[in-house]
Amino acid sequence: MKNTTSTIRPAMIRKAAAEETLELPVSLRTDTTDEFATESTTLHTASKPRAELDRLANRDLAKVLELGQKTFGEPVIPFTLDWVGEFLLGQNSRGPIARGLPTQPPVRYIDAESHRQGMVFGMREYQITLRTGDCRVINLIQQTSQKCPSFTRDVWLVAERQFLALYYKLRRLEKARSQVVAPLMQDSLRERLWKNTIGVLTRNAASMKALGVAIRRGMLLRGEPGNGKTMAARWLKYEAEKRRLAWKSISIAHFRAAQHRCEVGELLSLGSPGIIFFDDFDELIRRREENHNSTDICTLLNELDGIDRRYGTVFLFASNLQWNEIDHALRRPGRIDLMIEFTKPNVELRRQLMEIHWSEILRRQIDIPLAVSQTEGMSFAELEELKTLLAMQHFDEEEIDWNRALAEFQSRRTETAKKPIGFGAT
């Protein structure tokens, strides 16, 4: 059956509003019982004709419009949000504040077993700043059932005069969200990373070619997992593609398959200047005395040493190995020319992460200096996990308890460290 909401038009809403005295929809009442499950609320849609469904949908929506006008004091626009839009609104607004309807208080719930509480009936109010000024956005929250359904159970309301400004605000936020920000690392290291990758392939390309110098660099991003290597590679990929430089990511599986087909040379070829990223190659680039795969590393080295095919290429390796654990032949200049170390974030980087990259909702509810001091020794990945715990608290309870989230994180880390790994684990 076709969704009846899509058939609702403003003229139909105005007509429905003019023909009857508007009341709070039955599906929005807290005193709804089986006795109230009349023809206007019982939704056995398969047996109802299309005209009847349209009438019920318009009735519900017309009443919601009047409810919105009473709340805002001006005409409103009802709309729906997908999860991305709801996430962006929540990340960039003040709220939500739980409110009741004009004549009824909010109805909340308590789940003692899972230590959660929330709202099942009422309104969630957000305040977001637009170019036209502060904007109030309301989300109607209500339970539904088979006997008490609603065509408006997930409706958002905003003042009619601010709807387009809100729309363009969310569009800008989504566009900014799709961009990749520079990795959090020391400025001097980020500059070296840039100059030896994007810089080599753009600013210096013409002059180096005129001097007869091959534009070819080998870079190693080294460090323990979770400290920003992948973040740096993702940033370089974004910047390379923005400048129309080629980018290719190669895994061990890709290399093995190409080796089996005798096509490693083609795998390491680019049609234009760009970057080849070797992701998780530790198994292959480890010292031959330890991995017993001398054929693999020899094949890789022979292809890296190609001349014509490799002109205008930066080879970028990411590894968790120590420098002395990498095969000595790969460490020679001309293969790996520069290594950048990714360590756990220091005080300044942790402060930048929380002040710049954490949402305003989280920042308002935690003591940033205290949080920075209490996260000494954490990696970026661990800080991300801690942020997730805080966000879950906010969504479940509409408030944040930093000490409880930190204790839960430390408890999880302790349990993970103690848990046996392997076939003997129970």
Encode pLDDT of 49-90 as tens digits: 667 656 666 777 787 888 888 888 899 998 888 877 888 888
pTM recorded for the entire structure = 0.56
| pLDDT value for 372 | 93
Is it the case that residue 144 has pLDDT exceeding 80? no
Distance of CA 35 to the CA centre of its chain: 45
Is the domain of 28 the same as that of 168? yes
Is 8 inside any structural domain?
no
Is the domain of 171 the same as that of 32? yes
Q: Worst-scoring range by mean pLDDT, 14-18, 239-243, 262-266, 329-333? A: 14-18
Is 320 inside any structural domain?
yes
Is the domain of 194 the same as that of 332? yes
Q: Which domain holds residue 365?
A: 347-418
Encode burial over 131-144: b for 16+ CB neighbours within 10 A, e otherwise.
eeeebbbbbbbbeb
Is the domain of 67 the same as that of 197? no
Is the domain of 199 the same as that of 70? no
| pLDDT value for 264 | 85
Is the domain of 242 the same as that of 334? yes
| pLDDT value for 16 | 38
Is 2 inside any structural domain?
no
Domain tally for the chain? 3
CATH number of the domain to which 311 belongs: 3.40.50.300
Instruction: Give the count of beta carbons closer than 10 Å to the beta carbon of residue 160.
Output: 14
Residues 6+ apart with CB under 8 A from 228: 183, 184, 185, 342, 345, 380
Tokens 């809100």 found at: 166
| pLDDT value for 159 | 92
Is it the case that residue 373 has pLDDT exceeding 90? yes
Ramachandran assignment for 143, one of left (phi > 0), alpha (psi -120 to 50 degrees), beta (any other): beta
| pLDDT value for 370 | 93
Is 4 inside any structural domain?
no
Is the domain of 17 the same as that of 121? yes
| Listed residues 178, 202, 229: the one ending a domain | 178
Is 279 inside any structural domain?
yes
Q: What percent of the chain has pLDDT over 70?
A: 73
Is the domain of 134 the same as that of 158? yes
Is the domain of 252 the same as that of 359? no
Is 387 inside any structural domain?
yes
| Listed residues 311, 342, 373: the one ending a domain | 342
Is the domain of 24 the same as that of 135? yes
Is the domain of 79 the same as that of 154? yes
Q: Are 219 and 314 in contact (CB under 8 A)?
A: yes
Is it the case that residue 152 has pLDDT exceeding 90? no
Q: 375 falls in which pLDDT band (50, 70, 90)?
A: very high
Question: Chain-wide mean pLDDT for the chain?
Answer: 76
Element counts in the chain: helices (H) and strands (E): 18, 11
Give the Cα separation of 363 and 346 in Å (integer): 19
Is the domain of 94 the same as that of 142? yes
Q: What percent of the chain has pLDDT over 90?
A: 17
Mean pLDDT score, 199-228 = 77
| Listed residues 342, 372, 402: the one ending a domain | 342
Tokens 């008490």 found at: 148
Is 1 inside any structural domain?
no
Is 7 inside any structural domain?
no
- Per residue in 272-304, pLDDT tens? 889 999 887 887 888 666 666 677 778 888 877
